[in-house]
Amino acid sequence: MKRLLSIVLAFSCSLSALNIYAQDGDSSLKKDNLIFNHLSAGVSVGLDGVGAHLAAPIGRHFSVRAGYTFIPSYNSTILDLPFIGSQIDAEDLKFTINEGEPSQRDIDLSKVDFGLTINNFGPHLLVDLYPGKKSGFHFTLGAVMAQDKHFISTTADLSGQLQPNEYASLGISYKGIPDITTDENGILHLDLRSNSIHPYAGIGFGRPLNMRHRVSVNFDLGIVYLGKAEVYSYDYAAAGGKADVQITSAGLENEDDGVIDDIIGKYPFFPVMKLSINVRLF
């Protein structure tokens, strides 16, 4: 019985000590003004690619994140260009060289390698607002800077379909689009251009810098506004060198159902959904 009482007493003393330690910890945390005096580092993966960031607190209701995100490029042999559609009418595909008469030829699209690169994501600066002092739910506002004026770069390797002397000289037109050409390597380029700085807005769960845990996880869901975007290809045979050729729904005779003019041109948003793992450094 005495041994049992001794064990109960020791356990009670341990709980009391832990409670005092926790109170001291909470007290010291409450005294911390949390103004750029802590720092965490994190990595993320999501629809905007993979990235890394640093985070610091601005009081108990705000934090700031600065980082860099990039999207790896990849190549595809599948034609998936929404402004052209899944089918190309061969009768409307014309070829000219040295301003001669338009001619037709067979282009086997199944043997053309198409590449897609998303260039635009790079440095970003985000500010998180937490409605509650201990809440992980937050609103986020910020901006993403562009790595390149071409948000999306698409290529079509026609080198195996054309003769070397036709590279950068054979004019290719489709419906009402002016002549475009490949570059000197037989690669056809199609780019989506947008603004250089893009606003970001979203919500999230979790804190990129957690004062009660060394390691934390947070989730973000939001949108990047690209600004008015335009689609361009190029004429490498133009007088004076490479010339821009804008691609529009009107030029495609609205075969794209107005995607370029009505959606890409007016409401260009890029969705963001990502998961981050963070480690508090100090």
pLDDT, tens digit (0-9, with 9 covering 90-100), for 194-223: 888 889 999 999 999 888 889 999 999 999
CB atoms within 10 A of CB 247: 23
Same domain, 25 and 116: no
Helix (H) or strand (E) holding 142: strand 138-146
Same domain, 93 and 21: no
Angle at 201 between CA 282 and CA 139, to 5 degrees: 55
Give the per-residue pLDDT at 24: 41
Give the per-residue pLDDT at 108: 67
Same domain, 126 and 21: no
Same domain, 63 and 142: yes
Which is more confident, 257 or 154?
A: 154
Same domain, 60 and 188: yes
Same domain, 176 and 136: yes
Residues forming a β-bridge with 154: 116, 190
Token readout for 274 is: 């990502």
Q: Strand, coil or helix: what is 87?
A: coil
Burial of 83 (0-12, 13-18, 19+ CB in 10 A): buried
Q: Report the CATH number at residue 137.
A: 2.40.160
Please give the span between the terminal C-alpha atoms of the chain, in angstroms, as a whole number.
Answer: 48
pLDDT, tens digit (0-9, with 9 covering 90-100), for 80-113: 444 343 445 555 556 665 455 555 566 666 677 7
User: In this structure, what DSSP letter does residue 8 have?
Assistant: H
- If one counts the domains in the chain, the total is 2
C-alpha distances in angstroms, 168 versus 38, 97, 110, 209, 223?
56, 10, 22, 53, 38
Same domain, 125 and 165: yes
User: In this structure, what DSSP letter does residue 22 have?
Assistant: H
CB atoms within 10 A of CB 212: 11
Report d(CA 278, CA 39) in Å as an integer: 10
Which is more confident, 167 or 142?
A: 142
pLDDT, tens digit (0-9, with 9 covering 90-100), for 1-19: 444 334 334 433 433 333 3
- Provide the whole-model pTM: 0.66
* Structural domain containing residue 147: 35-280
